[in-house]
Amino acid sequence: MDIIKIGGSLLTDKTIYRKFYQKKTSKIVQKLSGIEKFILVHGGGSFGHYISKKYGLPGDITEERIKAASIVKYDMADLNQRIVKMLNLAGRPAMGISPFFLDKNNSFSYGIVKKVLDYGMIPVLYGDVYLRKDSIRILSGDHIMSSMAQLMKPKRAIFLTDVDGVFDRDPKKYRDAALLKKYSTESVDFGMISNDVTGGMELKFRSMVNCRNFGVKTYLINGNFPERIEYIGKKEFVGTEF
């Protein structure tokens, strides 16, 4: 069993509110639908981060944040259902699961994920808002990935994003940035985060290290070339292995 995360930067244009990349997402989902057994996790992109950033989520409870939380919850469910529909059309019964409803006694209880898997369906989890006693918070898809690595003991954790892997510095800013094929302990520069309320590449990086520390083989791959998943463990592989 694998756990796979599709980053929000692949699903959406992060600079335009709710701009969905239908074709790109469909290509990725088609490719994933050939994998035998997996849990899918996805990010929010401009369905999650845009309104969150505009209205100051996460944060203490205010009237404005409560309104924003309702919109973000709706937008994330909408994005999730588009992905679930694509999996269903590809012949893989899938079930969307928001962590909003799994938050009990200050921790997330993921029992339903196991149940959905046992029924032969693909659980499709995603980053979302959730409510705590004095605040409205956001759980990122990357965080869900490390929880899944710990609880479900998958064979592989695969993170799909819009660059070829982890570089020694941001490849979109520095053309001479070097791809790290195998990450162990090198120091990496992640620069500043702009359109991301959950921590950008740096947080993803920490989640990937966590997955590896739970004993799961972990990879960062460019989702614009989903066929690269097939090259994991082979000489032709392009990406970062943790």
Interaction site with ligand IPE (CB under 6 A): 7-8, 43-45, 48-49, 52, 72, 76, 127-129, 138, 140-142, 196-198
Q: Which of 94, 113, 157, 166 binds ligand ATP (CB under 6 A)?
A: 166
Neighbours of 135 (CB within 10 A): 13
Partner interacting with residue 32 (select from ligand IPE, ligand ATP, none; CB below 5-8 Å by kind): none
DSSP structure class, residue 39: E
Contact between residue 130 and residue 103 where contact means Cβ atoms under 8 Å apart: yes
Q: Minimum Å distance from CB 203 to ligand ATP?
A: 6
For residue 219, give the nearest of 176, 174, 172, 156 by alpha carbon.
156
Residue type at 98? S
Q: Minimum Å distance from CB 113 to ligand IPE?
A: 16
Residues within window 19-48 making contact with ligand ATP, judged by CB under 6 A: 43
Does 103 bind ligand ATP (CB under 6 A)? Our answer is no
DSSP structure class, residue 60: E
Count Cβ atoms within 10 A of the Cβ of residue 73 and give its class: 0-12 exposed, 13-18 middle, 19 or more buried: middle
Does 204 bind ligand ATP (CB under 6 A)? Our answer is yes
Distance CA 206, CA 38 (A): 22
Partner interacting with residue 239 (select from ligand IPE, ligand ATP, none; CB below 5-8 Å by kind): none
Q: Minimum Å distance from CB 236 to ligand IPE?
A: 27
* Binding region for ligand ATP (CB under 6 A): 7-9, 43, 141-142, 161-163, 166-167, 169-172, 188-191, 196, 200-201, 204
